[in-house]
């Protein structure tokens, strides 16, 4: 006896937020995505992914940054700070796959997992500091971060120093631990 699989129900009931996009516009979204970002059911359909980012600048920079990675690997994954409808910022694990190898933004499938229980957003950070903080928690060095986001290593070090002051961290390791919310 073969049971018919209801893929629409699977998509809607998945334990993570999911969406299908075309040119970074949400074409379909499941209930978990709406709940996670505090939007009414189906309110995200037709919206740009930009509504989920802390700023338009972060949306644009992330879109540019992921293109070479998706072109090389076909998929992308990171942890970053996102924004709920009520403007609350939270850490989110984001993974996606482009459906067209030659144009990763043409169409894609994305998953979102709220990881704020493991990591909180406690200090007031600028968009660039949020971007650098997300890369630091991935274990990337200032030199690698600088290359990835097209800044000088000295500028990245300046942002890292500012983050250390904001989080009252004496060392880079302590900063990463605080960013990971291991140390309160």
- pLDDT value, residue 120: 66
**How do beta strands 75-83 and 25-29 pair?**
unpaired
Q: What domains are defined for the chain?
A: 14-114 (3.30.450.20), 127-179 (1.10.10.10)
Q: Where are the beta strands (DSSP E) in the chain?
A: 17-22, 25-29, 75-83, 89-98, 108-114
When pLDDT is cut at 50, 70 and 90, the band that residue 183 belongs to is: very low
CA distance 35 to 38: 5
For the ranges 29-38, 41-50, 66-75, 124-133, which has the lowest average pLDDT? 124-133
Does the pTM surpass 0.75? The reply is no
pLDDT tens digits, one per residue of 157-175: 999 998 988 888 888 888 8
pLDDT band at 182 (very low <50, low <70, confident <90, very high): very low
Query: What's the confidence (pLDDT) of residue 121?
Result: 65
177 band by pLDDT with thresholds 50, 70 and 90: confident
pLDDT in tens, 4-62: 889 999 999 999 999 999 999 999 999 999 999 999 999 999 999 999 999 998 899 89
CA distances from residue 179 to 34, 41, 119, 136, 149 in whole angstroms, order as listed = 26, 32, 7, 9, 19
Report the pLDDT value the prediction gives residue 2, as an integer from 0 to 100: 74
Give yes or no for a contact between 79 and 94, defined as CB atoms under 8 angstroms apart.
yes
pLDDT grade for 79, boundaries at 50, 70 and 90? confident
Q: Model confidence over 96-122: pLDDT tens digits? A: 999 988 899 999 999 999 998 876 666
Q: What local confidence, expressed as pLDDT, does residue 184 receive?
A: 34
């Amino acid at each position: 006896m073969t049971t018919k699989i209801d893929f629409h129900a699977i998509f809607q009931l998945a334990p993570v937020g999911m969406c299908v996009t075309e040119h970074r516009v949400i074409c379909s979204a499941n209930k978990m995505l709406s709940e996670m970002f505090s939007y009414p059911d189906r309110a995200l359909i037709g919206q740009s992914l930009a509504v989920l980012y802390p700023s338009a600048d972060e949306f644009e920079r992330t879109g540019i940054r992921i293109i070479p990675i998706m072109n090389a690997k076909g998929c992308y994954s990171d942890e970053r700070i996102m924004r709920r409808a009520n403007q609350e910022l939270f850490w989110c694990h984001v993974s996606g796959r482009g459906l067209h190898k030659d144009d990763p933004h043409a169409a894609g499938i994305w998953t979102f997992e709220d990881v704020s229980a493991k990591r909180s957003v406690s200090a007031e950070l600028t968009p660039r500091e949020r971007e650098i903080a997300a890369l630091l928690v991935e274990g990337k060095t200032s030199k690698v971060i600088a290359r990835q986001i097209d800044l000088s290593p000295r500028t990245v070090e300046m942002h890292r120093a500012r983050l250390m002051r904001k989080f009252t961290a004496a060392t880079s390791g302590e900063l990463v631990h605080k960013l990971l919310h291991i140390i309160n």
